[in-house]
A = this chain, B = another copy of it.
């Protein structure tokens, strides 16, 4: 269905696909994702995957009218997670794209949690994609660079300055700085364990880690402990809650290169099961509501060549809002040619604030539609002047405030380390106030006094996260407040 050039792992797929060429990369989860995707497409009223029919019924968007990318049929790409389709721990404007797509195209993208090696038996073993990414022996790592830091860092290449495995980047044809990239999340499914022993189950890890808000402030000793809890999620998606399987206290782990990690200081270090004590009497009978979403999603920043994946920024990234799941749409300002979209840091569930440092970090596969809004078409639309990631759900608009709206520009040449010393919720609330005022004034044509009154009586400000360097506060406003838009 597409004539675009084949890049590594690109697999163009549609309802009548007979392409067996990439069978080797097509994991079971692809079949699941594709079936789900096609089923939804059928429900949407047609057997052909046309952008028009899908965009309106599958991922409703307030900007649907302007989002139709012509009358052509959209392509559907599938990107498996593998050592050569991911960036580990960073955004990079000049990374080689995994695939190049047109506005309106669909992508099914596998994403892996960087915590899978907390329990490799459940989250890596038998999963060829995960095995290729997490591969690490005395000589070689499947993915060497982990983070935006120096390649000769003592702790490991990339320094762990950025930790999230992101699949991509995806280059969007024709995208230029000043444009807006609309990302619709059409579907999200958990990634089943590749180990036959755990068939039908997915797993995730929650690390109460040294970067958590609670760290050092505990009732019991040692106050500076790190505790990992492994959770089980139903891979079929039929059960909407997760349960804890066991927890263990982090003990110093020696990686295959011989480096000792006394704390969780580098991503993907394999935990040796013989070195830990599993406590299986943990959170018994407790049902954790499942909220599958992507912690990190966005486009590449322009300010630096390698940018850590940890602090979120005006181009998105590690926003860590659990509402960025199925049915949600996010609008990102494009900062570099091609936009360079990437997604990762999948979560099965998270609470607002992500208090202890992580969510239930759990590999997921998502289906996305990318729609490009050109700068020239923005004036007069609600996307004009958008300088921050804007989240739209079925019923709500959400804006994301950060301690520093554009920390890379605001904090100087050492911004990527300085940011960890300077954040506060108060600053993030200040930024969220500014952004919500801007949103109400520009998209709803309110005066400043009207916007300020409305914010106090009808906008809810919540704490998104306090663990990502650049802390976050989101502002949520219900769509039903506003008069119906025409057309």
Chain B neighbourhood of A282, CB < 8 A: 447, 449-450
Q: Confirm or deny: A458 has a beta carbon within 8 angstroms of a beta carbon on chain B.
A: yes
> Which of A108-116, A132-140, A355-363 sits within the interface?
A355-363
Tell me if A446 and B283 are in contact (CB < 8 A).
yes
Name A279's closest neighbour in chain B (CB-CB): B449
Tell me if B457 and A360 are in contact (CB < 8 A).
yes
CA distance A448 to B214 in the complex (A): 11
Q: Confirm or deny: A414 has a beta carbon within 8 angstroms of a beta carbon on chain B.
A: no
Q: Confirm or deny: A285 has a beta carbon within 8 angstroms of a beta carbon on chain B.
A: yes
Tell me if B355 and A244 are in contact (CB < 8 A).
no
Partner of A460 from the list B208, B353, B452, B458 (CB cut-off 8 Å) is B353
Q: Chain A at the B interface: mostly helix, strand, loop or mixed?
A: mixed
Question: Distance (Å) between the CB of A457 and the closest chain B CB?
Answer: 5
Interface readout for A216-234 with B: 1 if CB under 8 Å, 0 if not?
0111100000010101000
CA distance A217 to B452 in the complex (A): 11
CA distance A448 to B425 in the complex (A): 24
Tell me if B286 and A483 are in contact (CB < 8 A).
yes
Chain B neighbourhood of A285, CB < 8 A: 482-483
Chain B neighbourhood of A429, CB < 8 A: 213, 353, 425, 463, 466
Q: Confirm or deny: A433 has a beta carbon within 8 angstroms of a beta carbon on chain B.
A: yes
Tell me if A460 and B457 are in contact (CB < 8 A).
no
CA distance A460 to B458 in the complex (A): 19
CA distance A466 to B457 in the complex (A): 13
CB contact under 8 A between A287 and B206, given known A349-B458, A455-B356: no
Number of interface residues of A (CB under 8 A): 65
Tell me if B480 and A350 are in contact (CB < 8 A).
no
Chain B neighbourhood of A144, CB < 8 A: none
Partner of A351 from the list B352, B424, B460, B480 (CB cut-off 8 Å) is B460
Tell me if A288 and B355 are in contact (CB < 8 A).
no
Question: Distance (Å) between the CB of A227 and the closest chain B CB?
Answer: 5
Question: Distance (Å) between the CB of A450 and the closest chain B CB?
Answer: 5
Question: Distance (Å) between the CB of A44 and the closest chain B CB?
Answer: 30
Name A459's closest neighbour in chain B (CB-CB): B351
Chain B neighbourhood of A208, CB < 8 A: 449, 452-453, 456
Chain A interface residues (CB < 8 Å from chain B): 206, 208, 212-214, 217-220, 227, 229, 231, 244, 247, 282-283, 285-289, 349-360, 424-426, 429-430, 433, 437, 444, 446-450, 452-463, 466, 473, 478, 480-483
Q: List 22 A-B contacts (CB under 8 A).
A: A213-B429, A218-B448, A220-B448, A229-B449, A247-B450, A286-B444, A286-B481, A287-B483, A349-B458, A350-B456, A351-B457, A352-B460, A352-B462, A353-B429, A353-B455, A353-B461, A354-B456, A356-B452, A356-B453, A425-B425, A425-B429, A462-B463
